[in-house]
Amino acid sequence: MTDAAELQARTRALLAAHPPATTDRTEFLRARFDAGLAWVHYPAGLGGLDAPRALQAVVDAELAAAGAQDNDPRRIGIGLGMAAPTLLAYGSDEVKSRFLKPLWTGEEVWCQLFSEPGAGSDLAALGTRAVRDEATGDWIVDGQKVWTSSAHTARWAILIARTDPEQPKHRGITYFVCDMTDPGVEVRPLRQITGEAEFNEVFLTGVRIPDAHRLGEVGDGWRVAQTTLMNERVSIGGARIPREGGMIGKAAGVWRDRPDLRTHALHRRLLDLWVDAEVARLTGERLRQQLVAGQPGPEGSAMKLGFARLNQAISGLEVELLADEGLLYGDWTMVRPDLVDFTGRDAGYRYLRSKGNSIEGGTTEVLLNIVAERVLGLPPEPRNDKDVPWKDLAR
């Protein structure tokens, strides 16, 4: 059993062998992975040491104190939060050792080819086809995906496709790893509300995927996707933030710096939101403490819902607070950014981009359904799509 003292010693040995000040960032990250200090709860040889997840904090604190560079979790969020746990749970040994290391070091970025024009909240309705080539055993994929974040920077994708249209929708889906450099993959920027193209349309035409890149059984892709989606929702709330650490700090800063902009009505709203933000911070802290104590609660879904509402309300207030400046917008040029940067941008961008927080990763409405049914145990709504073959569904 690996304990805190041992991890501390291992971290110090890593730092001694690869001093952060003089070591190339990627080289340092590779060494960290090889030392089992990337994600300590992962298996030995795959970046971890089979240690309790809570002990990652010990390693991170040591590394932060030594000024070591991190692997930029925001830029590789989809790989880290969603692809990795799914690869770990369903990948073969070869798949795991091929993909996990460059995923973690950020040398290979991942994207998620799930949503389609006709399948968003109702993801299981998707129509992208994967047909087996009997001669080679490969899969040939045709279809269209949409709103795919980072497809333009991604080397690999997690993909779900329909392999049996005769089955009811949840039963005919299979899960794959897709090579984004395959000639059949075409990525077109999809401009969004902010003027930028952070997400994309992805057209898949005769894309050939080897059977070795299938995760889980044929037809069992929905279950595999559940692993991905569950991890998507709990991946928030990891880091400790100080009071006023989030977006509220921006609004509070404007309030302090610009007495000329203050009104009584805005003051009330600012204080309401200040309290909400502080309570959200405490809720995140409580969730973290529960995880460390090995008693994870369902509060993870509360975090995502609360974060969306709060970001939207605070950024809206900030635009109003800024008065004439709020009427301006930084830059409408269409660019294809690597990541979402709330704190580095202006209030107008924050206002517009935060509208996506209640849509991406499951809409607020869908997550409220999940809370109501899985946390509170309220009865499901009657459904008429469960036993009908996918090909006969209305669309």
Ligand X SMILES: Cc1cc2nc3c(=O)[nH]c(=O)nc-3n(C[C@H](O)[C@H](O)[C@H](O)COP(=O)(O)OP(=O)(O)OC[C@H]3O[C@@H](n4cnc5c(N)ncnc54)[C@H](O)[C@@H]3O)c2cc1C
Residues with catalytic function: 232
For 82, which DSSP code?
I
Question: Which residue number, 51 or 103, has a Cβ lying nearer to ligand X?
Answer: 103
Give yes or no for residue 148 binding ligand X (CB under 6 A).
yes
Q: At 111, list the tokens.
A: 């994207």
**Residue 314 site contact among ligand X, another protein, none (CB < 5 to 8 Å, cut-off depends on kind):** none
CB of 267 to another protein, least distance (A): 5
Among another protein, ligand X, none, the one that 258 touches (CB under a kind-dependent 5 to 8 A) is none
Cβ proximity to ligand X, 121 vs 136, nearer residue: 121
The b/e string for 324-345 (b: 16+ C-beta within 10 A; e otherwise) is: eebeeeeeeeeebeeebeeeeb
Taking the least distance from each CB to another protein, the nearer of 35 and 266 is 266
The reply to whether 231 sits near ligand X by the rule CB under 6 A is no
Stretch that binds another protein, among 106-114, 126-134, 272-280, 313-321 (CB under 8 A): 272-280
Instruction: Compute the Cα dihedral for 43, 45, 47, 49 and give only its sign.
Output: positive
Q: Which is nearer to ligand X, 11 or 148 (CB)?
A: 148
Binding to another protein (CB under 8 A) within 300-339 occurs at 302, 305-306
Does the footprint of ligand X cover residue 365 (CB under 6 A)? yes
Minimum separation from the CB atom of position 273 to another protein (A): 11
Closest residue to ligand X in the complex (CB)? 120
Nearer to another protein, 335 or 371 (CB): 371
**CA-based R_g, the chain, Å:** 23
Report how far residue 205's alpha carbon sits from residue 366's, in angstroms, rounded to the nearest whole number.
31
CB-based contacts of 370-376 (< 8 A; 24+ apart in sequence): 370/301, 371/298, 371/301, 371/302, 371/305, 374/298, 375/298, 375/301
Q: Does 156 bind ligand X (CB under 6 A)?
A: no
Piece of 78-86, 136-144, 181-189, 269-277 that binds another protein (CB under 8 A): 269-277
Least CB distance from residue 217 to ligand X, whole Å?
Answer: 22
Q: Helix, strand, or coil here: 33? A: helix
Question: 174 pairs with which residues across the strands?
Answer: 161
Asked if residue 67 lies in contact with residue 19, where contact means CB atoms within 8 angstroms, the answer is no
DSSP per residue, 186-238: EEEEE--TTSS--EEEEEEEEEEE-GGGEES-TTBHHHHHHHHHHHHHHSSS-
- 273 — phi, psi (to 5°)? -75, -30
Residue 335 interaction partner, one of another protein, ligand X, none, beta carbon < 5-8 Å per kind: none
Residue with tokens 């992208």: 128
**Contact flag: residue 79 with ligand X (CB under 6 A):** no
Quote the least distance from Cβ 291 to another protein, whole Å. 11
The first and second tokens of residue 184, run together, are 């059949």
> What are the C-alpha distances in Å from 69 to residues 20, 32, 78, 99, 185?
7, 11, 20, 21, 33
Stretch that binds ligand X, among 3-11, 207-215, 307-315, 354-362 (CB under 6 A): 354-362
Considering beta carbons, is residue 57 or 359 the nearer one to ligand X? 359
Residue 123 φ/ψ, nearest 5 degrees:
-55, -35
What does 136 bind: another protein, ligand X, none (CB cut-off 5 to 8 Å by kind)?
none
147 binds ligand X (CB under 6 A): yes
Q: Does 270 bind another protein (CB under 8 A)?
A: yes
Q: Would you count residue 366 as binding ligand X (CB under 6 A)? A: yes
Instruction: Find the binder of another protein among 92, 97, 263, 343 (CB under 8 A).
Output: 263
Q: Measuring CA to CA, how many Å separate 34 from each of 97, 189, 215?
A: 12, 36, 25
Cβ neighbours for 191, distance < 8 A, ≥ 6 positions apart: 197, 334
Residues 6+ apart with CB under 8 A from 154: 78, 109, 110, 111, 180
Q: Which is nearer to another protein, 21 or 293 (CB)?
A: 293
Among 31, 369, 370, 385, binds ligand X (CB under 6 A): 369
Locate tokens 């040398």: which residue? 107
Interface residues toward another protein, by CB under 8 A: 240, 242-243, 252, 255-256, 259, 262-264, 267-268, 270-272, 274-276, 278-280, 282-283, 285-286, 289-290, 293, 295, 299, 302, 305-306, 365, 368-369, 371-373, 375-382
List contacts with ligand X (CB under 6 A): 111-112, 114-115, 120-121, 147-149, 199, 356, 359-360, 362-363, 365-366, 369
